[in-house]
Amino acid sequence: MRDPVGIVGAGLVGLATARHLARSGVPVVVWEKEATVARHQSGHNSGVVHAGIYYPPGSAKARNCRRGVELLRGYCAGRGLPWDERGKLVVARDEAETGRLREIERRAQANGVPGVRWLDGPAIRALEPDVAGVAALLSPTTAIVDFPAIARAFAADVTERGGQILTGTPVTAVRRHGDGVHVSTPAGTHPVSRLVICAGLQTDLLARAAGDRAAPEIIPFRGEYLRLQPGVRDRVRHLIYPVPDPAYPFLGVHLTPRIDGEVDLGPNAVLALAREGYRWRDVSAGQLSRLARSAAFRRLARQNWRAGLREMHGSLSRRAFLAEARSYLPWLESGHVVPAPAGVRAQAVDPDGSLVDDFRIHRIGLVTAIRNAPSPAATSSMAIAEQIVGELSISPVQGGR
């Protein structure tokens, strides 16, 4: 009997990969340090199935997002999981943003996103009377889903096929040798034939332990949300996004209906002082000292201090947070919102201080490390899994499917 393929991390990417392997009859074991699956990014995000309008044509994001939408839609339909095709408006607030919106329209067409339409001001108001803007791009197939429920369904598929998901089990060391890899956990040392590291916020640390290079390193960016009070929830039906700043991989504070009926505004992007720093008071001495020693972080901070201060101000002052959203939702008042749970993004940063935009996967012998899987990696998880498994070159087992 051959050693199983090991996977670190039971987020959407790790679980989709485990599921893909288990369905092919490949023995698989997933180690997850938390007590349940999807406890970090996969359970703390906007819940949006992105249609693929933003990403540079030909990029890994563009490819995996379009393929990921198709796979995920089929999966949710097959498993009876909710899929609410609300549609989304990306709203330009002035002429400068209109120019940038035209570029997004061009990318959407090149990426084959269905049904995308340009709207002028009156057309916006016909669709959404409470949204202000001079032009908008409508992406009618953008959907909202329940990503934690999808993660649980992936996990159930893995165990049904004989795969193991070991929660509450942190991977503490990885050692490569000639024809395999040894993975250490508090329960002992386990041989695996191949290892896939899908550890989100911890991924660079584990990849280094497996012999990968240090760069890119993960800098955690907290994304905070405000939640609309019930009385104003129904004023907008679609997802409403601003035109993103091309200098950043983040999409800007947007209004997102949730599958449970809540409507959230966010996320901003504030430097987190711990890898899993969901609140300002979560501070890790280890992470602070890593940041202090990081040349990539110093360069990032030097290049982006203005935006950093703006985001910090928005985090500390609800008024400042709301000011941005008010530029396209002018009726919004402070009394309309309450704080909502935050998420923390695992954002990879290159040694020159630039934020890595595209998905990035490293291979170090028998170890595959997912070094950058930010949004839309939840949307793309099944497509990323397909790609990872294809590149593992494992011969399928008879009877798998």
Ligand X SMILES: Cc1cc2nc3c(=O)[nH]c(=O)nc-3n(C[C@H](O)[C@H](O)[C@H](O)COP(=O)(O)OP(=O)(O)OC[C@H]3O[C@@H](n4cnc5c(N)ncnc54)[C@H](O)[C@@H]3O)c2cc1C
Binding site for ligand X (CB under 6 A): 8-14, 31-34, 39-42, 44-48, 50, 170-171, 198-202, 206, 223, 267, 343-345, 370, 373-379
Angle at 76 between CA 152 and CA 16, to 5 degrees: 50
Q: How far is the CB of 52 from ligand X (least distance, A)?
A: 10
Q: Are strands 270-271 and 143-145 parallel, antiparallel or unpaired?
A: unpaired
Given the complex with ligand X, which of 35 and 292 has the nearer CB atom?
Answer: 35
Q: How far is the CB of 265 from ligand X (least distance, A)?
A: 12
Q: How far is the CB of 258 from ligand X (least distance, A)?
A: 10
Q: What phi, psi does 88 have (nearest 5°)?
A: -135, 145
Given the complex with ligand X, which of 34 and 125 has the nearer CB atom?
Answer: 34
- Helix ranges (H only) for 248-346 are 285-293, 295-316, 318-326
Given the complex with ligand X, which of 12 and 135 has the nearer CB atom?
Answer: 12
Which residue is nearest to ligand X, using beta carbons? 11
On the 0-12 / 13-18 / 19+ scale of CB atoms within 10 A, 16 is: buried
Q: How far is the CB of 228 from ligand X (least distance, A)?
A: 17
Contact 364, 176 (CB under 8 A): yes
Q: Is the dihedral of CA 210, 29, 348, 364 positive or negative?
A: positive
Q: Say how far apart CA 310 and CA 197 lie, in whole Å.
A: 34
Given the complex with ligand X, which of 202 and 304 has the nearer CB atom?
Answer: 202
Q: How far is the CB of 257 from ligand X (least distance, A)?
A: 12
Given the complex with ligand X, which of 10 and 138 has the nearer CB atom?
Answer: 10
Q: Say how far apart CA 310 and CA 307 lie, in whole Å.
A: 5
Q: Say how far apart CA 299 and CA 314 lie, in whole Å.
A: 23
Residue corresponding to tokens 């940041």 = 291
Query: How many other β-carbons are positioned within 10 Å of the β-carbon of residue 292?
Result: 9
Q: How far is the CB of 40 from ligand X (least distance, A)?
A: 4
Given the complex with ligand X, which of 27 and 267 has the nearer CB atom?
Answer: 267
Given the complex with ligand X, which of 125 and 358 has the nearer CB atom?
Answer: 358
Q: How far is the CB of 298 from ligand X (least distance, A)?
A: 24
Query: How many other β-carbons are positioned within 10 Å of the β-carbon of residue 123?
Result: 14
Contact 66, 41 (CB under 8 A): no
